[in-house]
Structure formats: structure tokens, C-alpha cells
A and B are shown apart, each in its own frame.
Chain A
Amino acid sequence: MLDCGLDTTSVLNFLPLPLVHSPRLSKLPGWVSKDGTLNLEKELKECTGRVFVDSQPEFCLPERELLDLSTIDVILISNYHCMMALPYITEHTGFTGTVYATEPTLQIGRLLMEELVNFMERVPKAQSATCWKNKEIQRLLPGPLKDAVDVWTWKRCYSMQEVNSALSKVQLVGYSQKVELFGAVQVSPLSSGYSLGSSNWIIQSHHEKVSYVSGSSLLTTHPQPMDQSSLKNSDVLILTGLTQMPTANPDGMLGEFCSNLAMTIRAGGNVLVPCYSSGVIYDLLECLYQFIESANLGTTPFYFISPVANSSLEFSQIFAEWLCHNKQSKVYLPEPPFPHAELIQTNKLKHYPSIHGDFSSEFRQPCVVFTGHPSLRFGDVVHFMELWGKSSLNTIIFTEPDFSYLDALAPYQPLAMKCVYCPIDTRLNFHQVSKLLKEVQPLHVVCPEQYTQPPLTQSHRSDLMLELQPPPMPYRRCSVLNLPFRRRYERVYILPELANSLVPSEIKPGISLATVSAVLHSKDNKHTLQSVPKPPPMPPSKKRKRVIEEPPVVLAPKPLLSGAVPLEAFLSTLQKHGITEVKVEETADGHILHLQAEDTLIQLEEDGTHIVCDNNEPLRTTLRDLVLRFLQKL
């Protein structure tokens, strides 16, 4: 299984989970259908024309019906965002396989899961809405609830216990480490340049190579640069995780982010940045580190609020091996690789596990707050939305590309707060991808269907799709795709003893042949050939005659023959062996040799020789060997 990400956009259909009681949210009217026949006011609430489910938010899981999860041997994880569904896959499903991921992916993935669980468990909600999921009822609901797919498979968040159990199945791997799977294939993660420890995977046997390219970046941010050259010579390249913002330039967005931030602060407003607690935030902090002084923001407090804020900042400093060259060389000095260490030391950046506790007493405005969750449905960000939403002095800046900002803001409408959308998605865009594919030249490309046509909203932009020769093979949810290669060869090892006994003969210039008779041993998908053991010596037989009567024991077929027997040369060889009386008769296909003294016929043709010889076994074997001299054995 390649990755198991969680579709969290489903939570946009739910009401936010406030940390402190919100009178506004609790006063929202329940929903009743226009004709009054359908009353779901307990489960559904209405806010400025949109309907939201009042229940603990639920996630849309990867497909679990199509296959028996207990038959999955291995899961390869490409980055920490792509493992959020892991507990749903590995727990209570009979899964007994192994998950492979790099160390930063595991550690930061754990933090993100921990954060998610914490956000949910901090504000337990007794109610679990289920009525609206009924097919008949859902049909009658207003959009977008009406159009939500597979709602009956949506699940509430997992528990910490399930997270721990799922992560205990992870086996750590390093970049370019070769991991043997069942002796059949070798998998190896390569740096993908997108996030700390993010990887693309190579899956190869001795003769076939499949590359899995997911969430890669060619921009210079904090992670180690993408390893492109190792992707060369792929039979199949599976391409996914392209940028969700193909038209937004990350550098431009970063500039916009800074200028909007400075503008708001100068006007006395607060800035709210809903974000994940690892990833782009490191780059944002680094950018601010350089920007703060020049923009005269030295006294503005920056807050990072998350149950895992401290861990995330600390962990980022200890993965030097996984960082870009510039950051790596800092460690040699020795200095922390990220400048946020200095921001913390100089008290410019403060981090808190939540808005409760120390934060409430140290909190000063105007300020900048980084906090989750970017969906605005749970986490500390909900509190700041309620707190700052009413004032037009404040600004919310969206940097994560996963959620539509309009949908995210819907349950908070009407809002006075300014909204700035500068999504920063460093993953490959279509231009970069086509350049990359030209470089690595895979024989076939497999990609999601969406990449093969321009986005629905920009159907004229033919540059926003993959155009390749041969065309990429598209896949969609639940479709089964056969990868277009035929396996022809497998690796086998000839043991030294057997190898030494082989007798090669040159059949054409540069090509030699040797016939091999051997015993095949196959163990753990590894094959070896070894010499045929010599039969144990015959027990000394009392009657010699009996020995002759024993039929040949080992059924050892003779090699195939090739070539032709030249007449003249054959005749002179016969002569050397004392066979002189030969009458040669020409036929349509060759010659018939009549050995008169021996009363034996030899029929020589281009592609066959027939020896007719009665009652003279010694002669027959002599003739046989003479014929064989002229032929090649295979």
C-alpha cells in the first residue's frame, strides 16, 4: 500500500468545536426542511444559509471495502501528511504487515496525530449525529451535505492508544536504504524535498523498476533536495501529490504573507495564521526572522499555540541529516539549524500547549498567532476566530492549501475580520513535472485522473494538465489498473561448483552457449542452481547381466542439436573410421548414404539426420558420435 492519507475536508461539514462555550454557536437555529416534513434540528444547524452537522467532526477514510486489509504486507509512507489514516488501516482490521517510514516522518507524524487526538478529546461531544447519514434523508438535505460521498463510512477520530499501536508497526528507514521485501522486491526511499524526511519510493526487482513519486518539491526550503537521478530507468512511474495551487507562486505568497502581516500589526490589529504545527511553519518563522527587524516588528509578540508546539520546534532542530545543505552545515559549527531557536531565546516567539494556562496571563495584543487546525473546525484556532472575528482591524491569513478558505470560514459568517488567502504549496507544478519526466524518462506514467485534464474551473488552461507521449494511464478511486509490463526474467544464482563445471562453446562471434543441468533450490523467493548430486555408487551386483537390464535411472534428456552435417567432410570422416564403401544418392532434400558393407542407411538433410541401422549397436553409436561432431548442442 502506497501511503494512507486522511481526507479531512469532510470536517468542513461540521460545526466548529469551541474551547470555551460560544453563545453564538449554541444559538444557531436547527434545520427543518422547507415543507416541514423533515425535522433534524438536533443534528443540523444553520448558519447564514449553510447547514452544518452538530457532532464531533468525522473524517473520510481511504477505501477499506475493496480489499481485505489483512492481506496487505507492507505500507510505504512518503511523508507525514500522508499517514494520518494509519490507525484506521492497521487497527482492528487484521493487519499484520509492516509500515516503512523515515524517522522524521514517524516523529512528526506522531506529533500531528497526537495534536489531532488532543484537539478532539479536549472538547468531548456527547452527541453523535447519525440520522442525516440515512440515504433517503441525505438526498433531501441542502448542498454541499447532499453531495457528500460515502458519508456512512466517515469515522470519528482515533484514540491515542490506537495511534501508539499503529505507530509501533513502523519500521524506520533512511534515504537510499535498500530494504528487501520477502526476497522478491527491494524498496528504497529517496529524498523528495517536500518536508522533513519526505520520500519518494523505488520498488524494484532485478529487472523491473517502479517509482512512486508523491509530494515532491524542487524549491529550496528546509528539507534535503529532491533526489531525481535515482528515478531514472523506471518502467512505471506513479505520480501523485502535485501542488493543489498550480497557479500560486510560493515565493510571491510568502511576500504577500509578510506584507499583510506587517500592515495589520501596524494598524493595531492581530494576525491569525491557521496552520499545521510542522512543515511550512518552519519556513514562515525563518522568513519572519529576517523580516521582523526590517519591518520594525521587534516588539510584536509571536505566539505558536499547539499541544505539540514545543515538540515540533525541538524536533526540527535534531534532524540535521534530513535538512538542506545550508542548514546541515550550521550543525557543524555547532549551531541549531533553524533560526527559530534564536526567536525563542530572544523571547520574540513564545509557544504554549493551549490557550489555557500560562498563555492567558502572558498574552499581549496586537500579536501574531500561529495555531491549528487549518480547517477552523477544532483546535485553539476556533477560540481566536470567535475572539477576533468581529473586528475589521484583525486579519486571518490562510497559508495551508488543503482547505477552501471560503468553506472554512462559512460557520463564522458574518465576519468583520479581513481574510487573506496566500496558500503556500511547494509541491511540483505541471511545468516542473513535465521537465522532471523529460529528465527521468519513465516508460509509462500512472497518475490520478484529475491530472489528465485541466481543472474544472479553468478548463481553458491546457497548461494545467499532464500531456505526455505515450499518454499517462489515469486511475480513479476503486479502479483497478494493470501496470503495463511483462516480467520475463528472474535472478538465479549459479553456485560456484556448478559454474566451474559448465563448458561454454562459442556459437557465433561474441555469443557462447553452455548447457546447464542442475537442481533448482527456491527459498524465500531466492533461487539457486547447484550441481546434480552424483548418484550413490551402485551396490556391487552379483550378476553382471542384471546391471545391463536396469533401465536408465535418471531421465536426462539430451540437448537439442543445431547446424547441418556437410556431406564431403562427413564422408572423409567415415573413411578415417574405416567405412569406405559408401554409395551416395542425391534426393530432393539432401543425400542418402548407403553404407554397403554394414547394410546401413544414413539420410542427411539440411535440418535432420536419420540413421537406420539394425543389429549393430557399436556401429550405430560410432555413427551417432560422428554425426554429433558436426552439430552444436544446446
Chain B
Amino acid sequence: MPEIKVTPLGAGQDVGRSCILVSIGGKNIMLDCGMHMGYNDDRRFPDFSYITQNGRLTDFLDCVIISHFHLDHCGALPFMSEMVGYDGPIYMTHPTKAICPILLEDFRKITVDKKGETNFFTSQMIKDCMKKVVPLNLHQTVQVDDELEIKAYYAGHVLGAAMVHIKVGSESVVYTGDYNMTPDRHLGAAWIDKCRPDILISESTYATTIRDSKRCRERGLSEESARKHRKRRQGKRVGPQTVSLSDHLSVQSSFQERMNLKAPIYFSTGLTEKANHYYKLFITWTNQKIRKTFVQRNMFEFKHIKAFDRSYADNPGPMVVFATPGMLHAGQSLQIFKKWAGNEKNMVIMPGYCVQGTIGHKILNGQRKLEMEGRATLDVKLQVEYMSFSAHADAKGIMQLIRMAEPRNMLLVHGEAVKMEFLKGKIEQEFSIDCYMPANGETATVTTNPSVPVDISLNLLKREMALGGPLPDPKKPRTMHGTLIMKENSLKLVSSEQALKELGLNEHQLRFTCRVQLQDPHSDNDTLHRIYTHLKSVLKGYTIQHLPDGTVMVESIVIKVSSSAEDANTKVLLLSWSYQDEDLGSFLSTLLKKGLPSGLC
């Protein structure tokens, strides 16, 4: 039985370091190659030695697919391809290919330049790695080799986020990456067709939550800042952000207009500025409304938002700053946070999920004393708010996607074990399909049961369909007969006659003749007629003919009558049939041996 094996090297019952190995139809595919924000040691990257102990991965992987540009999905890519060694194709969408190297470079700078780590990938390695990238278009079927094909679907998580359908023969797997089932201000909702994969590998970050609409949360963010503004003229605020921050900028921008808010709004330069350019150029990846109106009004040009400079952090008066990264684990957002943490008038709004180990995670859990590098501690007095803007599917969304794709099995990754457990129960109950949730390094094996594709001769098919009628009777299915010819790699189903012809074989006729003696005091002709009437009454649904040449035919079985030489009342019946009618012939000879019933006319 063919099997599909799925092994997470990261994101198995965990969030972060997404990296999932899939073996399907003799092909090995790596889905995502991310880093873990919560670790600074070896655990930050997936354990590639699981694939092979000795070095390069090229021989062991047919392709690598990156779902989107977030570092927990692509952060380990240059390490994997350039330091461990992989030269095969890496697939990602155009926007991901555009934005991913910038985030990697940023990540590298923070790690090497700021933290001083040495054994890390270089800028050149990022470039070399990106040269191996093959861009994917939505819905394009990409033939990785003769057997393996992949197709990307819109995932709506960030710009360029994709789900992938991986197919070998008639077996297939769908990997969702991170996705969102409700359209938001800028992105559309994830969509997939009814592709019925053998396994659907889904993220499950919000496996147990059902969230209100994003519009409500956006209003929340704005009102929060308005309240601050009215009550505390001295208030300051930090809103850490991820790259999808165009979102928040546009919310705030339009809000400021409406509320006549005077406090300046800043966003951190560099990354974010570029990010907006990407949104402009990849407008086809945003939602319907933006695409329709972009000629008149580009959503990504903001009137009220100014670029942030480090020195502004000490400016007097309230201000709003959007800064990255969103989990406060490094970079500008962390710097500003450290500066402002001591004042209870300030506030930080965490816009999304924070991985365990990050400062974001700690303060969300109510920790008020933070241990910083060099044994210093930081008292957190500012207010901490959580408003989830990260575009993940919630439980409802995950169920919705299952309904869309109709998978035969479900496999959960990118979530916490307890939450997964809950969702697994729900899925198994509602859809009656198996749901797996392997931990890192653990393999889930799914046995598939593929149908065998065969070429049927059109003659045979048409004959069969004509006989079956337009609406076949489900109670009385017609049986079709044919011969399957297996030659090299081809499988052809043809009628038996055609098979004989094609293979140049002679047909061998096997015939049987059987004489049956019968006591019947009538003329030969009458006896024959009596046989005809008898068989008519016994054999329903068979073709029975009384032919003028003195024979009775039942299907292709011939019955003749002659009188015995000695006794005119003893009749000799001659039955003759071919092997193809063996069952009927055998039945008839047995039946007629019992004689004809009296009372036949």
C-alpha cells in the first residue's frame, strides 16, 4: 500500500520554526524552513541532521516550498541551503521572493552586527540562496519533475502568502502555511478548490478561538489611542509591528483624520517604508476593493504618518510609534520599549501572537520584571494591551477550509498541543476523518489507496455506455468484461476480441456436444415445440428462438431433435454450446435430462 509520511522538524505542536518534511510517491518535499524567535541557540533552526547525518541535502530533497515571508517560515533558509547545503529548487511566490531577502538581511544584521554572533549566514549567502528560488504564480501548475507537480493558492495571511497543493500521481497533500479565512482591510480571504487531498496540513495558531471581525479590532485600536489622547496629554505609546503594518498605518491615518488627533504618528523607517512600496507593486495580491480603486486612490500612500527617527523617542509630548518586530525580541521596537517601559502613562499594544521566550510573550503573560542582557532587570510599568491583528484562521476558519478542500486526512501543525488536541477532537467528530498532530521529529504515516488509471478502448467504453442506458439502474448494475493488457508501463483495457487481435493470438474454440434421451411420444417437430415452450417458461430474460430449420436456439446454444432408430417415442436431443455459454449449457443439459413436464401443449 502506498504511504504518505509527514514529519515536522519544527512547528510540530509548537509555533515557530516551521519546517515540515513530506514523503509522497517517492518524492521528498520540505515545506517552509523557518527560525524560532524564542531561542538564540541551536534550537533556533530546524534539526536538518534528521534528514541526513552527512552534509548536503540536495540528494534527499526534491524541492523546498516557502509559504510566506515571515521569519518563522523562511528564517532558516540561507542556513539550510548555503551552510548545510541544498542546490535544488526553492519555490515561493513573487512577493515572498521580493520581501523575504530583506527580512533575512535584517535578521542577519540583528544577530551578527548587534549581538555579535559569528557562525551565521552572510549577506552573500542570502543572495546565493535567493538565486535558487523559482517564483510561483497563483494557480499555476508547476511541474517540478515528470511526476511531482505543485500549485499555489491564495492564503491571505500576508502579502504573497500561499497555500500549496502537492501532487504525485493520484496522491496529494495540501499545506496551508499561515492563512486567513476572512478578508481584511488589505488582503482577501484564503481560497482553495475541492481538490480532495489525502492530507491537509493546516496551521492551528488560533485553534480554540473564534474571533470577532477585524473591523471591530481596528476600531478598538483607534479608540484606545483616542482615549489616551484625551485623558493623558503626556501619554506615549508604542505599537510594535510586523511587516503587515500597512494595515495599521492606514487605520490610524484615516482615524486621525476623523478624530482630529494632534499627536504625531510615526513608523519606523527602512523596512516599513519598503514594505509599502511592495504593497503598491503587488496590488494584484491585495483584496478586490483595493485592486478596483488603486488607480484613483492608492491605499498605501499615507497623509499623516511620518518616518521615525531614533532621537524622537525622547521628544516631549504624546506620540504613536509603529515599530518592528512585533514580538519585541529585537530591533527598534525593543529599544523603544526599554526606553518607555518605566512610565505607567505609556502603553504598548501587542498586535499578534508572541512566541514563547520573547519579551512580547512575557509581558502578555503579566510578567512585570524582565531580565535583560547583562543581568540588568527592567521594571515594566507601562500598560500592556493585546489586540490580535495577525491574520490567522480561527477554529471556524479552519473548519471552513476543511469543508472547501474535503481532505481524507487532517494534520495540524503551528499551534500549541493543548489547543490542537481540542481542535483534533472537533474535526474528527464533525468530518469523521483522522486527524494527526505529530510532535517535532515524530512521523505521521497515512496509507493511501489510489485508483489505478487505465486507458480503455473507446469502442469498449462506448458500447458499454450505450448498453447501460442513460440512467443505469443502481440495483442491477451491468457487468462489463474486458481484458487488461499490461505492457511495459502502459495499461490498456480492451474487449477480449481486440486483445486477441492486438497480441496476434489465435482464438481457440472449445465446444461441447451432449446427447440427451427423452421419452416423448410426439412427432419430432412437436417435441421441439414442447421444448421451446418449456424453456420459455423456465428461462426468463434469455433469448429463445424456434428456428424454421428445425432447431431451438437459447442464446447461442443449439438444440436439435431426432427420433431414436429403435423407438419412435424415444427422442434424442442434441445440445451444442461453446465454452462462452458453459454455465447455461450445463444448466440446460441437466434440466432436459429430467424430461419435459406433463401438461405442456
**Is B481's CB within 8 Å of the partner chain A?**
yes
Instruction: Scan residues 545-601 of chain B and give those whose CB is less than 8 A from a CB of chain A.
Output: 579-584, 586-587, 589-591, 593
The interface residues of chain A lying within 8 Å CB-to-CB of B224 are none
- From A314, A492, A608, contact of B294 by CB (8 A): A314
**Is A627's CB within 8 Å of the partner chain B?**
yes
| Contact present for A513 and B539 (CB under 8 Å) | no
Separation of A632 and B503 alpha carbons in the complex (Å): 12
Separation of A502 and B587 alpha carbons in the complex (Å): 28
Q: Nearest-CB distance from B105 to chain A (Å)? A: 13
The interface residues of chain B lying within 8 Å CB-to-CB of A148 are none
- From A314, A513, A554, A624, contact of B510 by CB (8 A): A624
Listed residue (B481, B509, B584) with the most chain A CB atoms within 10 angstroms of its CB: B481
The interface residues of chain B lying within 8 Å CB-to-CB of A563 are 505-506, 508
Separation of A532 and B507 alpha carbons in the complex (Å): 26
The interface residues of chain B lying within 8 Å CB-to-CB of A579 are none
Chain A 148-187 near chain B by CB (<8 Å), digits 1 or 0: 0000000000000000000000000111111000000000
The interface residues of chain A lying within 8 Å CB-to-CB of B515 are 614-615
Q: Nearest-CB distance from A538 to chain B (Å)? A: 16
The interface residues of chain A lying within 8 Å CB-to-CB of B507 are 560-562, 607
| Contact present for A620 and B453 (CB under 8 Å) | no
| Contact present for B465 and A490 (CB under 8 Å) | no
| Contact present for B451 and A511 (CB under 8 Å) | no
- Known contacts A518-B480, A560-B500, A551 near B539 by CB under 8 Å: yes
- Known contacts A320-B281, A519-B478, A504 near B508 by CB under 8 Å: no
- From A311, A334, A627, contact of B295 by CB (8 A): A311
- From A488, A513, A610, contact of B457 by CB (8 A): A488
Find the B residue at minimum CB distance from A630: B508
Q: Nearest-CB distance from A101 to chain B (Å)? A: 13
**Is A493's CB within 8 Å of the partner chain B?**
yes
The interface residues of chain A lying within 8 Å CB-to-CB of B97 are 332
Listed residue (B479, B515, B517, B582) with the most chain A CB atoms within 10 angstroms of its CB: B479
The interface residues of chain A lying within 8 Å CB-to-CB of B482 are 515-516
**Is B116's CB within 8 Å of the partner chain A?**
no
Separation of A612 and B465 alpha carbons in the complex (Å): 39
Separation of A620 and B450 alpha carbons in the complex (Å): 43
Instruction: Scan residues 489-528 of chain B and give those whose CB is less than 8 A from a CB of chain A.
Output: 492-493, 496-497, 499-500, 503, 505-517
Instruction: Scan residues 371-421 of chain B and give those whose CB is less than 8 A from a CB of chain A.
Output: none
- From A319, A560, A624, contact of B580 by CB (8 A): A560
Separation of A512 and B487 alpha carbons in the complex (Å): 7
Q: Nearest-CB distance from B422 to chain A (Å)? A: 34
Q: Nearest-CB distance from A313 to chain B (Å)? A: 9
Chain A 501-518 near chain B by CB (<8 Å), digits 1 or 0: 010100110111111111
Separation of A529 and B454 alpha carbons in the complex (Å): 10
The interface residues of chain B lying within 8 Å CB-to-CB of A527 are 456, 461
Q: Nearest-CB distance from A85 to chain B (Å)? A: 25
Chain B 32-64 near chain A by CB (<8 Å), digits 1 or 0: 000000000000000000000000000000000
- Known contacts A491-B453, A561-B507, A103 near B468 by CB under 8 Å: no
* Size category, B interface: 35 or more
| Contact present for A617 and B509 (CB under 8 Å) | no
| Contact present for A315 and B295 (CB under 8 Å) | yes
**Is B182's CB within 8 Å of the partner chain A?**
no
The interface residues of chain B lying within 8 Å CB-to-CB of A634 are 483, 496, 499-500, 505
Listed residue (B457, B579, B581, B586) with the most chain A CB atoms within 10 angstroms of its CB: B579
| Contact present for A631 and B455 (CB under 8 Å) | no
| Contact present for A513 and B586 (CB under 8 Å) | no
| Contact present for B511 and A608 (CB under 8 Å) | yes
| Contact present for A549 and B496 (CB under 8 Å) | no
Q: Nearest-CB distance from B584 to chain A (Å)? A: 6
Instruction: Scan residues 444-480 of chain B and give those whose CB is less than 8 A from a CB of chain A.
Output: 449-458, 461, 464-465, 468, 477-480
The interface residues of chain A lying within 8 Å CB-to-CB of B294 are 314, 318
Q: Nearest-CB distance from B159 to chain A (Å)? A: 11
Find the B residue at minimum CB distance from A180: B193
Separation of A206 and B274 alpha carbons in the complex (Å): 47
Instruction: Scan residues 580-620 of chain A and give those whose CB is less than 8 A from a CB of chain B.
Output: 606-615, 617, 620
| Contact present for B451 and A608 (CB under 8 Å) | no
**Is B139's CB within 8 Å of the partner chain A?**
yes
Separation of A532 and B481 alpha carbons in the complex (Å): 11
| Contact present for B593 and A615 (CB under 8 Å) | yes
Separation of A529 and B477 alpha carbons in the complex (Å): 12
**Is A462's CB within 8 Å of the partner chain B?**
no
**Is A552's CB within 8 Å of the partner chain B?**
yes
The interface residues of chain B lying within 8 Å CB-to-CB of A206 are 455
| Contact present for B452 and A493 (CB under 8 Å) | yes
| Contact present for B505 and A494 (CB under 8 Å) | no
**Is B364's CB within 8 Å of the partner chain A?**
no
Chain A 524-547 near chain B by CB (<8 Å), digits 1 or 0: 000111001100000000000000
**Is B137's CB within 8 Å of the partner chain A?**
yes
Separation of A350 and B449 alpha carbons in the complex (Å): 63
**Is A285's CB within 8 Å of the partner chain B?**
no
The interface residues of chain A lying within 8 Å CB-to-CB of B335 are none
| Contact present for A493 and B454 (CB under 8 Å) | yes
Separation of A206 and B169 alpha carbons in the complex (Å): 14
The interface residues of chain B lying within 8 Å CB-to-CB of A36 are none
Instruction: Scan residues 296-324 of chain A and give those whose CB is less than 8 A from a CB of chain B.
Output: 310-311, 314-315, 317-321
Q: Nearest-CB distance from B546 to chain A (Å)? A: 18
Q: Nearest-CB distance from B346 to chain A (Å)? A: 34
Separation of A565 and B500 alpha carbons in the complex (Å): 17
Find the A residue at minimum CB distance from B554: A551
- From B98, B483, B587, contact of A513 by CB (8 A): B483
Separation of A178 and B149 alpha carbons in the complex (Å): 11
**Is A487's CB within 8 Å of the partner chain B?**
yes
| Contact present for B484 and A609 (CB under 8 Å) | no
- Known contacts A319-B284, A513-B499, A516-B482, A207 near B455 by CB under 8 Å: yes
Instruction: Scan residues 180-234 of chain A and give those whose CB is less than 8 A from a CB of chain B.
Output: 188, 206-207
**Is A278's CB within 8 Å of the partner chain B?**
no
| Contact present for A515 and B140 (CB under 8 Å) | no
- From A519, A609, A621, contact of B479 by CB (8 A): A519
The interface residues of chain A lying within 8 Å CB-to-CB of B278 are 334
The interface residues of chain A lying within 8 Å CB-to-CB of B94 are 320-321, 328, 331
| Contact present for B458 and A488 (CB under 8 Å) | yes
| Contact present for B481 and A562 (CB under 8 Å) | no
**Is B488's CB within 8 Å of the partner chain A?**
yes
- Known contacts A318-B281, A328-B94, A519-B478, A491 near B455 by CB under 8 Å: yes
Find the B residue at minimum CB distance from A611: B512
Separation of A606 and B500 alpha carbons in the complex (Å): 16
Find the B residue at minimum CB distance from A521: B472
Find the B residue at minimum CB distance from A564: B508
**Is A556's CB within 8 Å of the partner chain B?**
yes
- Known contacts A331-B98, A496-B449, A634-B505, A516 near B493 by CB under 8 Å: yes
**Is B282's CB within 8 Å of the partner chain A?**
yes
The interface residues of chain B lying within 8 Å CB-to-CB of A529 are 454, 480, 493
- Known contacts A103-B284, A517-B479, A634-B496, A175 near B140 by CB under 8 Å: yes
The interface residues of chain B lying within 8 Å CB-to-CB of A311 are 295
| Contact present for B583 and A494 (CB under 8 Å) | no
The interface residues of chain B lying within 8 Å CB-to-CB of A310 are 295
| Contact present for B584 and A561 (CB under 8 Å) | no
| Contact present for B511 and A560 (CB under 8 Å) | no
The interface residues of chain A lying within 8 Å CB-to-CB of B477 are 519, 532-533
Separation of A606 and B509 alpha carbons in the complex (Å): 10
7 contacts between A and B (CB under 8 A): A510-B488, A511-B487, A513-B499, A516-B493, A557-B581, A565-B508, A608-B510
Across the A-B interface, give the 8 residue pairs with the lowest CB-CB distance, nearest first.
Answer: A608-B509, A493-B451, A489-B455, A492-B456, A519-B477, A334-B277, A614-B515, A560-B496
- Please give 19 more A-B residue pairs, beta carbons under 8 A apart, in addition to A522-B465, A560-B497: A177-B141, A318-B282, A488-B457, A493-B451, A502-B484, A507-B503, A513-B484, A516-B483, A527-B461, A529-B480, A549-B591, A551-B542, A552-B583, A559-B481, A561-B579, A562-B507, A608-B510, A610-B512, A613-B513
